[in-house]
Structure 1
Amino acid sequence: MINPVWLRTFCTLVEVNHFTRTAERLHMTQPGVSQHIHKLEQQLGHTLLERQGKGFALSNHGERLYQRGRQLLQQWQGLEQHVREDPEDEGVVHILSPGSIGLKFYPQCLELQQRHPKLVVDYRFAPNLAIEQALVAGEADVGLLTELPRHGELLCQPMAEEALLLVTSSKETAISWQRLLELGFINHPDGAYHARRLLSANFGEFESVSQLPVTGFSNQIGLILEPVARGLGFTVLPETAVAMFPQKKDIRSHLLTHAVSETIYQVKNKHSAELARVRFFEGQLRSLFSTKV
Structure 2
Amino acid sequence: MIAPQWSRSFRALAEQGSFTRAADRLGLTQAAVSQHIRHLEEQFGPLLIRRARGIELTPAGTAMLSYCNEIEEADRRLQLRLSDAKADSGEISLITPGSVGLALYPLLLTLQQRHRGLVIRHRFAPDKDVLDGVLHKQYELGLVTFVPEDARLVSAPFADDPLELVVPAGNDVKNWSDLERLGFIDHPDGLAMATRLLARRFPGNPGVRNLPQHGFSNQIALILEPVARGLGFTVIPRHARQAFAHADAIQVIECGTPVVDTLRLIHRAEWPLSARASWVLNQLRQGPPFNQSPAGVAFSGTKSRTLSQEIRERN
Q: Quick check: TM above 0.5?
A: yes
Quick one: distance in 2 between partners of 1:244 and 1:215?
22
The residue number in structure 1 matching 2:137 is 138
Label 1:218 to 1:148 Cα distance change in 2 as closer, same or farther (>3 A).
farther
After superposition, give the CA deviation of every residue in 1:60-86 in whole Å (9 maximum; x if it has no partner): xxxxxxxxxxxxxxxxxxxxxx79853
Label 1:84 to 1:149 Cα distance change in 2 as closer, same or farther (>3 A).
closer
Label 1:148 to 1:191 Cα distance change in 2 as closer, same or farther (>3 A).
farther
RMSD, aligned CA: 3.0
Q: Which amino acid counterpart does residue 116 of structure 1 have in structure 2?
A: H
Shift of 1:121: 0.8
Name the stretch that deviates more: 100-109 or 190-199: 190-199
Quick one: distance in 2 between partners of 1:216 and 1:272?
45
The residue number in structure 2 matching 1:234 is 233
Q: Which amino acid counterpart does residue 191 of structure 1 have in structure 2?
A: G
Shift of 1:212: 4.5
The residue number in structure 2 matching 1:86 is 84
The residue number in structure 2 matching 1:96 is 95
The residue number in structure 2 matching 1:13 is none
Identity of aligned residues (%): 39
Query: Would you identify which runs of 4 or more consecutive aligned residues in structure 1 move more than 6 Å?
Result: none
Q: Which amino acid counterpart does residue 275 of structure 1 have in structure 2?
A: S
Quick one: distance in 2 between partners of 1:103 and 1:195?
20
Quick one: distance in 1 between partners of 2:286 and 2:209?
39
After superposition, give the CA deviation of every residue in 1:241-281 in whole Å (9 maximum; x if it has no partner): 32333333332211123233332221223246753333333
The residue number in structure 2 matching 1:177 is 176
Q: Which amino acid counterpart does residue 165 of structure 2 have in structure 1?
A: L
Label 1:116 to 1:229 Cα distance change in 2 as closer, same or farther (>3 A).
closer
Q: Which amino acid counterpart does residue 139 of structure 2 have in structure 1?
A: A
After superposition, give the CA deviation of every residue in 1:4-45 in whole Å (9 maximum; x if it has no partner): xxxxxxxxxxxxxxxxxxxxxxxxxxxxxxxxxxxxxxxxxx
Instruction: Please list, as runs of the form range in 1=range in 2, the aligned pairs for 1:100-179 lying within 5 A after superposition.
Output: 100-149=99-148, 151-179=150-178
Paired residue secondary structure (1:290): helix
Paired residue secondary structure (1:140): coil
Label 1:113 to 1:93 Cα distance change in 2 as closer, same or farther (>3 A).
same
Q: Which amino acid counterpart does residue 157 of structure 2 have in structure 1?
A: P
Cα pair 1:132 1:151 within 8 Å, conserved:
no
Cα pair 1:161 1:263 within 8 Å, conserved:
yes
The residue number in structure 2 matching 1:290 is 291
The residue number in structure 2 matching 1:219 is 218
Cα pair 1:138 1:272 within 8 Å, conserved:
no
Cα pair 2:83 2:90 within 8 Å, conserved:
no
After superposition, give the CA deviation of every residue in 1:153-201 in whole Å (9 maximum; x if it has no partner): 3321112223321011224222423433453322223334432331232
Quick one: distance in 2 between partners of 1:253 and 1:287?
26
After superposition, give the CA deviation of every residue in 1:214-235 in whole Å (9 maximum; x if it has no partner): 4322232321111112332211
Quick one: distance in 1 between partners of 2:95 and 2:189?
14
Cα pair 2:195 2:207 within 8 Å, conserved:
yes
Paired residue secondary structure (2:291): coil
Relative contact order (alpha carbons < 8 A, sep ≥ 6): 1 or 2 greater? 1
Quick one: distance in 2 between partners of 1:208 and 1:180?
11
For structure 2, the residue ranges without an aligned partner over 5 or more in a row are 1-78, 297-315
Cα pair 1:161 1:291 within 8 Å, conserved:
no
Q: Which amino acid counterpart does residue 291 of structure 1 have in structure 2?
A: Q
Matched residue count:
212
Instruction: Please list, as runs of the form range in 1=range in 2, the aligned pairs for 1:26-45 lying within 5 A after superposition.
Output: none
Cα pair 2:200 2:255 within 8 Å, conserved:
no
The residue number in structure 2 matching 1:276 is 275
TM-score (norm 2): 0.57
Cα pair 2:103 2:242 within 8 Å, conserved:
no
The residue number in structure 2 matching 1:18 is none
Q: Highest CA radius of gyration, 1 or 2?
A: 1
Cα pair 1:103 1:244 within 8 Å, conserved:
yes
